[in-house]
Amino acid sequence: MTTIICRDLAIGIGGRTIASGIDLNLVPGTMTALTGPSGCGKTTLLSTIGLLQDPIRGTLTIDGTDTTGWSQRLRRGFWRDKAAFILQDYGIMDEETVAFNVSMRLNAIGLAVGGDRRRIRNALGLTGLASRGGEIASHLSGGEKQRLGIARAIYRNASVILADEPTASLDAGNRANIIGLLRERAERGATVVLATHDPVLVEACDQAYPVGVRNI
């Protein structure tokens, strides 16, 4: 389980501040929605929380450790051991199979999907992709790729899940399923952080944080 705390955080793009004064407690067992209009900085804040980019100022601690100045080695350790990202550009390797995209591993001789096959099947089944494991990922629709990203997070049992508009490409039925899966991850102790416009998803969260409404 992982706790992330932001204090007086300022975020931006290309040196330009787009939101500041950000104070957030992101704790295990909860879902937090980052809300606001397009361009307000939701995705930038999500990326900063995930250590994909640096804040302009302020502090971001993970389990009590200040991450300011963390090396790439320490960041990679966080990404490998704790975090799962569900991004709008999917982060999917289109030329590989759906099953490979869940485990991101090959077997010992590099000729077949590696990892725990039972867990792979379970993750695909929970996200409605049970019959698609052997297909090339490029065959999936946008909504199916979103679900594949969630299957990867389930497989890894990530303690931090960071999702950018995870329900944006889904119909009502699949949206309800994905919200339920994210809620279940939180109930199992994950810290779930979502950038979203979806009012149904926001309602399912424990807290909503409007990004960019403070004076800079």
Q: What is the pLDDT of residues 17-39, one digit of tens each?
A: 999 999 999 999 999 999 998 88
Calpha distance 196→86 (Å, rounded) = 12
Q: In the structure, what pLDDT confidence band is assigned to residue 205 with cuts at 50, 70 and 90? A: very high
Q: How many CB atoms lie within 10 A of CB 143?
A: 17
Q: In the structure, what pLDDT confidence band is assigned to residue 193 with cuts at 50, 70 and 90? A: very high
With residue 70 as reference, give the H or E element that holds it: none
> Locate tokens 């950018």: which residue?
164
- What's the rounded mean pLDDT across residues 2-17? 92
Residue 143, pLDDT > 90, answer: no
- What's the rounded mean pLDDT across residues 81-89? 83
Cα 118 from chain centroid (whole Å): 23
Q: Can you say whether the dihedral through the CA atoms of 121, 124, 130, 134 is positive or negative? A: negative
For the chain, which residues make up each domain, given as ranges? 4-92+155-210
State which CATH number among 3.40.50.1370, 3.20.20.70, 3.40.50.300, 3.40.50.620 fits the domain covering 4-92+155-210.
3.40.50.300
Residue 81, pLDDT > 70, answer: yes
- Residues whose CB falls within 8 Å of the CB of residue 176, separated by 6 or more in sequence, listed in order: none
- What's the rounded mean pLDDT across residues 136-149? 87
| Phi, psi (deg, nearest 5) at residue 169 | -105, 15
Percent of the chain with pLDDT over 90: 56
Q: State the chain's mean pLDDT as an integer.
A: 88
Calpha distance 60→103 (Å, rounded) = 29
Sheet strands side by side (includes 65-66):
16-26, 4-13, 57-62, 65-66
> Locate tokens 């952080």: which residue?
193
Q: What does pTM read for this prediction?
A: 0.87
Strands (DSSP E) contained in 67-201 are 83-86, 160-164, 191-195
- What's the rounded mean pLDDT across residues 187-215? 89
Calpha distance 93→39 (Å, rounded) = 27
**47-51, 52-56, 141-145, 157-161: lowest mean pLDDT where?**
141-145
- What's the rounded mean pLDDT across residues 165-181? 86
Cα 169 from chain centroid (whole Å): 16
Of the two residues 15 and 50, the one the predictor is more confident about is 50
pLDDT on residue 216: 42
With residue 13 as reference, give the H or E element that holds it: strand 4-13
Give 36-65 pLDDT, tens digit per residue. 988 889 999 999 999 999 999 999 999 999
| Phi, psi (deg, nearest 5) at residue 57 | -160, 175
Token pair in block for residue 99? 């099953």
CB 202 within 8 A of CB 193: no
